[in-house]
Amino acid sequence: MALATSLSHATSSLLQLSSSIKSLSSSSQLKNHHFHLPTSKNANFTKQLVIYAKRLSGLEEALRIRRERELRGSTTAKRRPPLRRGRVSQRLPVPDDIPKPPYVGSRELPEIAKEHQIHDAEGLARMRAACELAARVVDYAGTLVRPSVTTNEIDKAVHQMIIDAGAYPSPLGYGGFPKSVCTSVNECMCHGIPDSRQLQDGDIINIDVTVYLNGYHGDTSKTFFCGNVNESIKRLVKVTEECLHYGIAVCKDGALFRKIGKRISEHAEKFGYGVVDRFVGHGIGTVFHSEPLIFHHRNDKSGSMVEGQTFTIEPILTLGSTECETWEDNWTTLTADGSPAAQFEHTILITKTGAEILTTY
């Protein structure tokens, strides 16, 4: 389950260079010949930079055109009305004997814990169990995805599987969230609330599952196809999952956190996709959300990973704008232009030589 962030981030130096050169080439100084270079060597260097800037500009333009074509293809193949909220049913009960996280019973959004979560052998064993259960639940939920099924039905099935395992569905009651799972359809970036809307042929849906088992949270999500999904959206989903694994691949003891966002952005940009910067991964363990916050876009975040640490990586990619709008329920967040979004998430454990995916079985 992603966290929202309003922290500013650094633009890549390459794009800054491109922007600076474009600004220079269109400035009144240059147009009015008030800008003079003293030597032919400097003039040649400047000419090379301008040529490079034009090449970069051409690449950016090609990617923009590609994204626009794919976006047109995703909307003209089958025009779909904007997502609308359905009826939200009452929250489901949890047996009294199932242990609950400390935030249950309060509508206040818990603060992000400052401590990084590093586990001893017993804690890690419990963490593995919670993460394995979450992985099994999200895969089971994926088997329910088909046209005419409501996201409320998926929520009920997920809820039942979690409590049958003696666990608590972590989203339920977190900051007042009314359901046991997040279901984000089509242009919904994340935090979609299950309701009475029926899934339609051609939809995509991200199902975000977190369980609380024996005092530990396990968190994962996947994006599933509903029926016949067009090729441009299938490609978005495929690349989003690839971005998750590229981000995981740079993780190990001592690695810089900012490498995650750099690697994800590099891969996404090859296809012209946007990487959403508002929502981040997070530390997880006995606490649902803690430091470190994991940015999926290029950033200058300080800090290094530590062996034994657990956190989530959960990139969201869009076919169009990365700007977003949030409904009045304060949870459901959609792309501002209505373009499709996809997300994948794993909880990982940092090891001396790499990272272990815990949300698997």
Q: Which residues sit in the known binding site for a divalent metal cation?
A: 208, 219, 282, 314, 345
**Known binding site: residues?**
191, 208, 219, 282, 289, 314, 345
Rounded to an integer, what distance in angstroms lies between the CA atom of residue 267 and that of residue 262? 9
Between vectors from CA 16 to CA 13 and to CA 17, what angle results, nearest 5°? 90
Asked if residue 227 lies in contact with residue 186, where contact means CB atoms within 8 angstroms, the answer is: no
- The CA dihedral of 312, 313, 319, 320, to the nearest 10 degrees, is 80
List residues bridging with 309 in a β-sheet: 118
Helix, strand, coil shares of the chain as percentages rounded to 5?
Answer: 35, 20, 45
Binding-site annotation: residue ranges for substrate? 191, 289
Which DSSP symbol is given to 175? G
CA 162 to chain centre: 23
Q: Which amino acid is at 281?
A: G
Distance between CA atoms of residues 346 and 344, nearest Å: 7
As a whole number of Å, the CA-based R_g of the chain is 22
DSSP 8-class letter at 282 = E
Helices (H) and strands (E) in the chain, counts: 7, 16
- And the tokens for 314? 């959960």
Rounded Cα–Cα distance for residues 227 and 159 (Å): 24
Q: CB atoms < 10 A from the CB of 56, how many?
A: 17
Place of tokens 């950033």: 299
